[in-house]
Amino acid sequence: MVSEVPLGAFLSGGVDSSAVVAMMAELSSEPVNTCSISFGDPAFNESEYAAQVATRYHTNHRVEQVDANDFDLIDKLAALYDEPYADSSAIPTYRVCQLARKNVTVALSGDGGDENFAGYRRYRWHLNEEHMRSFIPSAVRRPVFGLLGKLYPKADWAPKIFRAKSTFEGMARDSVEGYFHSVSLLSDAMRARLFSPDFSRALEGYRAVEVMYRHDARSPAQEPLARVQYLDIKTYLVGDILTKVDRASMAHALEVREPLLDHKLVEWASRLPASLKLQGGEGKYIFKKAMESHLPNEILYRKKMGFAVPLASWFRGPLKEKVRQAILGPTLKNTGFFNTDYLHELVDHHQAGLRDYSTPLWTLLMFEAFLRQNQST
Amino acid sequence: MCGIAGIFDTQAKRPIDQALLARMNQAQHHRGPDESGLHAEPGMAMAHKRLSIIDLSSGHQPLFNEDGSVVVVFNGEIYNFVDLIPELQALGHTFRTRCDTEVIVHAWEQWGEACVERFRGMFAFGLWDRNKETFFLARDRLGVKPLYYAVLDDGQLIFGSELKVLTAHPALRRDIDPRAIEEYFAYGYIPEPRTIYQQAFKLSPAHTLTVKRGQPIPQPREYWDVPFQPLVPMTQAEAQEELIPLLRESVKSAWSQRYRWGHFSPVA
């Protein structure tokens, strides 16, 4: 009657997936099936950390090296997502699901830990800005810092902490605008240049930040940290992360389950005081503390790597021509949505090495692929 | 894990184009290559693509209640279904299978729209209650499972697990929503509830949509939110101590079917 399907887990070597695997291993009398992918480049390689956890919990661990230059997937991704979607980690996620499906039908994943327990680094930045904002009334902040931001020379090649311009601009914003700015792929200023006058008119003054204002207005969260966690749960978690995991897993007929998004756990974590989530600059503080008995400090307290894709070098090297053709070709031009001079500037400045515009270029590339695939149908 | 699709005539009992629904469903074949099913009646049809996880023989969808007046297509897992079966049986419901899909139709009969509050897990489903002339769409609390829908110009509501199910319908207008483009270039994705097309929407997490035939289509209703309040004053030691059992419980719950069916015995 009951069909037995093999069950396993992703094991990236990060805190969340390691914690899930540790719990599974404790609960099971049989070895847990785990898998991870590795990249050739050690800067992007977490597989040795995954191997440590696998050894400790005696899992059936499977690692496969994937080619870092995995750009053949670009058109496939556009077909998978049906509408524009620009998180480039869709590529490695697709590969890890493909690998998992070779051994299991169901895999447990560690998504949601960063939203629930405040693991993202941007939360620290946001709280610092909030702290500074709290000293100066907004009536003063907006005109003074807005002006300083305009006068101060732009230095977007510098590490974020040295960018006085963005600090001044940040001070002129309110909390929601500030957080929106920190997660935006293309800032308000860049989008203003990207869109054609006709397209801007069609927007009738609509701004993407309104999505966040709408959620924030009904947010039950009160602490500054909780408020931005709430925004992430309502926007990034579902729109980016869960969409990515669903499409990547379904493309391989793999079922992924999300224990860290069990609503009982989510409810509990949301009611924790901020100091137990973010303490002394350490995100996911209580989660890591609790896991100390189960995982080595090396896993818990190292710099987060994540799945990174070497877009910047792709766009100057193997994809140089593809990017030019896609972004400067007829597909985007014919929409009338974009300012073509700015498209040229993005491509030229990136390829000449003057700027790193890899994120805007990837976002445009995926938009172009969407248009191309859906125009003809 | 599966794909769901359907067409509901919100205005009348006009015949549904079954061949068209089958094509819409086929667009998401990859989601459930093991089996497909379709049910049609005047003014309503739903379809399903199935990936077999457990209990293949009795889990065929669309699935009906005792008298065939309630029918559901479902994508996901309701982890606490084994606890809900005896509760619903005690209330007089008769189960033909032991699968989570059947729990949904009986829970709907018992608790109506509030049935979703009883479910723990990840789910998206479409349900039709012929006696109440009511159509019901629901999505889990955090949005693990996707659900897209659109109301066409002729008053037909169409839904699916992916947007490609909707675009397989020739009457879906493909007008692009400029606001979605503004959002895309800011966020890198199009946040709920918008899609790239003006006429199509994502059902937001923790929302349901209830449509009665012949009545205006209401806005989706939120049935849950992340509480954040009241804060629970807790020392670090207390929080640490509570967290591990909670985490273990969440992992165990996601694993529940193997547990409940006794394929192996847990150590803890």
What value of ipTM does the predicted structure carry? 0.94
- Whether A211 sits inside 8 A of B196 (CB atoms) is no
pLDDT above 60 (res B262): no
pLDDT above 50 (res B266): no
- Summarize pLDDT for A68-94 with one digit per residue, the tens: 788 888 889 999 999 999 999 999 999
Contact B199, B171 (CB under 8 A): no
Q: What per-residue confidence (pLDDT) applies to A15?
A: 96
d(C-alpha B179, C-alpha A203), whole Å: 6
User: What backbone phi and psi angles, to 5 degrees, belong to B112?
Assistant: 60, -140
- Here the tokens at position B215 are 């009545």
Say which of B187, B242, B243 has its CB closest to residue A239: B187
Instruction: Give residues 186 to 225 of A whose Cβ lies within 8 Å of B.
Output: 186, 188, 191, 194-195, 199, 202-203, 206-209, 211, 219-223
By C-alpha distance, which of B25, B26, B36 is closest to B59? B36
- Whether B250 sits inside 8 A of A259 (CB atoms) is yes
Q: Please list every residue in chain A whose beta carbon sits closer than 8 Å to the beta carbon of residue B234.
A: 272-273, 276
Instruction: Give residues 346 to 375 of A whose Cβ lies within 8 Å of B.
Output: 363, 367, 370, 374
Where in chain A is CATH 3.40.50.620?
7-118+240-300
pTM of the complete model: 0.93
pLDDT band at A47 (very low <50, low <70, confident <90, very high): confident
Q: Compute CA B117 distance to the chain's CA centroid, rounded to the nearest angstrom.
A: 13
Q: Reading across the β-sheet that carries B70-78, which strands appear in turn?
A: B63-64, B70-78, B121-129, B134-139, B207-212, B221-222
Q: What per-residue confidence (pLDDT) applies to A341?
A: 98
Site of tokens 């030691």:
B237
Say which of B144, B164, B191 has its CB closest to residue A239: B191
Q: What per-residue confidence (pLDDT) applies to B1?
A: 65
- Which has more confidence, A144 or B233? B233
Q: Please list every residue in chain B whose beta carbon sits closer than 8 Å to the beta carbon of residue A29.
A: 264-267
pLDDT above 70 (res A337): yes
Supply the CATH classification number for the domain B2-222: 3.60.20.10
Measured CA to CA in angstroms, residue A54 lies from A20, A65, A280 at distances of 12, 17, 30
Say which of B142, B181, B185 has its CB closest to residue A185: B185
Site of tokens 């204002």:
A213
Domain range list for chain B: 2-222
pLDDT above 90 (res A4): no
By C-alpha distance, which of A360, A367, A25, A354 is closest to A193? A360
Lowest-pLDDT range of A83-87, B99-103, B145-149: B99-103
* Residue A112 at interface with chain B, using a CB cutoff of 8 Å: yes
* Residue A122 at interface with chain B, using a CB cutoff of 8 Å: no
In the beta sheet, which residues pair with residue B74? B125
d(C-alpha A221, C-alpha A172), whole Å: 23
- Whether B188 sits inside 8 A of A180 (CB atoms) is no
DSSP A243-285: HHHHHHHHTTT-EEE-GGG-HHHHHHHHTS-HHHHSBTTBTTH
**Mutation for B interface: A10, A28, A83, most B CBs within 10 A:** A83
Measured CA to CA in angstroms, residue B41 lies from B13, B23, B45, B129, B130 at distances of 9, 17, 6, 12, 10
By C-alpha distance, which of A69, A12, A99, A54 is closest to A309? A69
Q: Which helix (H) or strand (E) holds B250?
A: helix B236-254
- Summarize pLDDT for A186-244 with one digit per residue, the tens: 999 999 999 999 999 999 999 999 999 999 999 999 999 999 999 999 999 999 999 99
User: What backbone phi and psi angles, to 5 degrees, belong to A186?
Assistant: -115, 125
pLDDT band at A135 (very low <50, low <70, confident <90, very high): confident
* Residue A98 at interface with chain B, using a CB cutoff of 8 Å: no
Supply the CATH classification number for the domain A7-118+240-300: 3.40.50.620
- Summarize pLDDT for A280-308 with one digit per residue, the tens: 889 999 999 999 999 999 999 987 766 67
pLDDT above 60 (res A1): no
B144–chain A nearest CA distance, Å: 6
- Here the tokens at position B218 are 């209401």
Q: What per-residue confidence (pLDDT) applies to B261?
A: 39
B1–chain A nearest CA distance, Å: 6
Max avg pLDDT among A60-69, A310-319, B163-172:
B163-172
- Which has more confidence, B217 or B52? B217
- Summarize pLDDT for A91-131 with one digit per residue, the tens: 999 999 999 999 999 999 999 999 999 999 999 989 988 88
d(C-alpha B202, C-alpha B199), whole Å: 11
Q: What per-residue confidence (pLDDT) applies to A185?
A: 97
What is the mean predicted confidence (pLDDT) over A320-339? 97
**Which residue of chain A has the CA closest to B118?**
A263
Say which of A3, A220, A236 has its CB closest to residue B56: A3
- Whether A250 sits inside 8 A of B3 (CB atoms) is yes
- Here the tokens at position A126 are 């946001």
- Which has more confidence, A44 or B139? B139
Q: What per-residue confidence (pLDDT) applies to A29?
A: 87
User: What average pLDDT does chain A have?
Assistant: 89
- Whether A257 sits inside 8 A of B77 (CB atoms) is yes
What is the mean predicted confidence (pLDDT) over A36-51? 79
